[in-house]
Amino acid sequence: MREVAVIGVGCTKFGEKWESSFRNLFVEAGALALEDANLSGQKIDEIFVGNMSAGRFVEQEHIGALIADYAGLATENIPATRVEAACASGGLAFRQAYTAVASGMSDIVVAAGVEKMTDVDTEVTTDVLAAAADREWEGIAGITFPGLYAMIATQYMHKYGLTREQLAQVAVKNHENGALNPNAQFQKPITLETVMKSTLVADPLRLFDCSPVTDGASAVILAPLERAREFTDTPIKVLGCGQASSSIALHDRKDICTLDATVAAGNKAFQMAKVERKDIGFVEVHDCFTIAEICAIEDLGFCKKGEAGKLTEEGYTALGGKLPINPSGGLKACGHPVGATGVKQVYETVKQLRGDAGKRQLDADIGMTHNVGGTGATVVCHIFGRA
Amino acid sequence: MSVARFWRKQQNRYNLIGTHCETCGRYFYPPRPFCPDCRRDGKIVEHKFKGTGKVITYSIIRSAGDQFKFLTPYPLAIIELDEGTRLTSHVICDIDKIQIGMRVRPVFRKLAEEGSSGAIFYGTKFVPA
């Protein structure tokens, strides 16, 4: 296998972008990534795009070709493939791009992610997202995604004594980071009281425990490490890559509070990268709900089960803490355009490692991403370092 | 959901019919056609569940999609049947009453309907035992 580097990154601002269409979003992100890599579109060998549900959000399938076409590349006949794994679609698109370059099949490969979620009513969005769970046996019971993660939270609080305040602190911390991120949907700090007094969505989760509905796109460009310096002075190397699956339904997990696919994908990524937990400078984790960040910190092996709430409360995961989690603001503050999130995590990690992260800049050599589909039926992790 | 898609699972949903692996003894509801422990060595047969069990975890759903909006707020739970398998269901009770470990029994109820002229789907839900 060849070593692989990220040579260019681009991301739209995330938010309720009523003025932007599905295709405008990915064209904007793609153009930014190409500009960043100082690359012309004709040099692209292959495109992978993560997208969960354009079919239901904007009634458009056949996304791979559409992207290549509207990127102005129809006459180049570039292979373009859509990748779908619910909210992990973006992370999986990146993994496909990585394996395409590592295998020697393609040289210059784009990994993109896009979701346009605000062209339908909120109730439709809720239903579309519910399709990431088991439609036949969870969907028919009246589940919602906040509801499923709320059931993890109920069990977790019962088992480990996690407090409501500790859970709220995850949102407070991520909004604090998001306030420093010009691409974030929410750029305002919030107080513990804001979270605790927000409306109940699915007990014990409140509105401010949940990531919002968001439009956005992100794109990154990969190349063989040996060619990376043709395009950039600051290539960021992919050190490790791990993907895992688990049961589609939450009720089939051995332990409701453990995302076993996170454990497996994390371990694979660490083994491949040959780095230890203590070497990781920061992690972009999949905090679709506050409880998801608590579980992620533990399931990735950064502390024992039951300890992440206390660590969060003590500031261990804050920007100035020992292990900053979600310096971008995470899904909570940046927003969560489901197909784009996994690629945005890579965007943020590359920005941090290049020293390009502005006011939220950390002093770190190695960063990690963690992208989850559904309640943990798909998880993909990547570890990055400077080349 | 089309009528055929629901009809296919009607016996399962109406009568709590799942499956059982005779090789290892595990029970499955929702039914599985393939035992994850024994794989090709498994011998899967139908099994009618008693339906009694307990609440493993729960939430109160206050904001739902179109089909379930009319029920809000409603308790949703993961239930472990006495045979050891787990499923997700609406538990029909006061939202303040549900708790972890609560014993439940099955009841036949309307699950959902598709608008004012579409199909109405029935199946098993749970109430406190």
| Structural domains of chain A, with CATH | 4-121+214-236 (3.40.47.10), 142-212+239-386 (3.40.47.10)
> What is this model's ipTM?
0.97
The residues that bridge with B77 in the sheet, in sequence order, are B58, B89
Helices (H), A104-162: 122-130, 145-160
Residues of chain A with Cβ-Cβ distance to B88 below 8 Å are 137-138, 141, 143, 249-251
> Residue B118: is its pLDDT beyond 90?
no
| pLDDT given for residue B27 in this prediction | 98
Binning pLDDT at 50, 70 and 90, where does residue A363 land?
very high
| pLDDT given for residue A77 in this prediction | 97
Burial call A90-105: b when 16+ CB within 10 Å, e when fewer: bbbbbbbbbbbbbeee
Per cent of chain A over pLDDT 90 is: 99
pLDDT in tens, A89-145: 999 999 999 999 999 999 999 999 999 999 999 889 989 999 999 999 999 999 999
**Cα of A55 vs its chain's centroid, Å:** 21
User: CB distance from B74 to chain A under 8 Å?
Assistant: yes
User: CB distance from B63 to chain A under 8 Å?
Assistant: yes
Residue of A nearest to B13 (CA): A137
Contact (CB, 8 A) for B97 and B87: no
A141 φ, ψ (degrees, to nearest 5)? -85, -5
A 10 A CB-CB count for B33 gives 8
| pLDDT given for residue B117 in this prediction | 87
| pLDDT given for residue B115 in this prediction | 81
Tokens matching residue A357:
């992260």
Per the omega criterion (within 30 degrees of 0), is the bond before B30 cis? Answer: yes
Which of B59, B74, B114 is best to mutate for the A interface (most A CBs within 10 A)? B59
Look up A158 and say whether it is catalytic.
no
Interface of A with B in 113-152 (CB under 8 A): 123-124, 126-127, 130, 134, 136-138, 140-144, 146-147, 150-152
Which of A201, A251, A256 is best to mutate for the B interface (most B CBs within 10 A)? A251
**Amino acid at residue number B85:** T
> Residue B1: is its pLDDT beyond 80?
no
Residues of chain A with Cβ-Cβ distance to B87 below 8 Å are 137, 141, 251
| pLDDT given for residue B66 in this prediction | 84
Contact (CB, 8 A) for A204 and A157: yes
**Cα of B47 vs its chain's centroid, Å:** 14
| pLDDT given for residue A37 in this prediction | 97
Query: DSSP readout, A300-315?
Result: TTSS-TT-HHHHHHTT
**Nearest one of A162, A111, A203 to A305, comparing CA atoms:** A162
Contact between chains at B63 and A144 (C-beta distance less than 8 A): yes
Contact (CB, 8 A) for A46 and A67: no
- Closest approach of B40 to chain A, Cα-based (Å): 19
Tokens matching residue A95:
């993994």
Residues of chain B with Cβ-Cβ distance to A212 below 8 Å are none
Dihedral sign from CA coordinates of A171, A176, A180, A182: positive
| pLDDT given for residue B91 in this prediction | 98
The Cα B61–Cα A374 span in angstroms is 18
**Amino acid at residue number A40:** S
Dihedral sign from CA coordinates of A269, A275, A278, A282: negative
pLDDT in tens, A135-174: 999 999 999 999 999 999 999 999 999 999 999 999 999 9
The Cα A276–Cα A280 span in angstroms is 7
Interface of A with B in 260-319 (CB under 8 A): none
Per the omega criterion (within 30 degrees of 0), is the bond before A204 cis? Answer: yes
Mean pLDDT (whole number) for A167-195: 98
Mean pLDDT (whole number) for B80-91: 98
Q: For residue A138, with 0-12 CB atoms within 10 Å meaning exposed, 13-18 middle and 19 or more buried, which class applies?
A: buried
pLDDT in tens, A227-286: 999 999 999 999 999 999 999 999 999 999 999 999 999 999 999 999 999 999 999 999
Dihedral sign from CA coordinates of B3, A123, A214, A60: positive
Distances (CA, A) of A241 to A92, A354, B98: 10, 20, 42
The Cα A154–Cα A161 span in angstroms is 10
Per the omega criterion (within 30 degrees of 0), is the bond before B73 cis? Answer: yes
Residue of B nearest to A139 (CA): B88
Helix (H, G, I), strand (E, B) or coil at A341: helix
Binning pLDDT at 50, 70 and 90, where does residue A298 land?
very high
The residues that bridge with A366 in the sheet, in sequence order, are A385
- DSSP 8-state code for residue A325: B
For tokens 């519910």, the residue is A130
pLDDT in tens, B6-55: 899 999 999 999 999 999 999 999 999 999 999 999 999 999 999 999 99
Contact (CB, 8 A) for A326 and A177: yes
SS3 content of chain A, % helix, strand, coil (to 5): 45, 20, 35
Contact between chains at B30 and A199 (C-beta distance less than 8 A): no
Edge-first strand listing for the sheet containing B17-21: B27-28, B17-21, B44-48
Look up A251 and say whether it is catalytic.
no
Mean pLDDT (whole number) for B87-116: 95
Per cent of chain B over pLDDT 70 is: 100
| pLDDT given for residue A248 in this prediction | 98
List the Cα angle A375/A286/A170 in 5-degree steps: 105
The Cα A296–Cα B75 span in angstroms is 26
pLDDT in tens, A302-352: 999 999 999 999 999 999 999 999 999 999 999 999 999 999 999 999 999
| pLDDT given for residue B116 in this prediction | 82
Contact between chains at B69 and A130 (C-beta distance less than 8 A): no
Residues of chain B with Cβ-Cβ distance to A257 below 8 Å are none
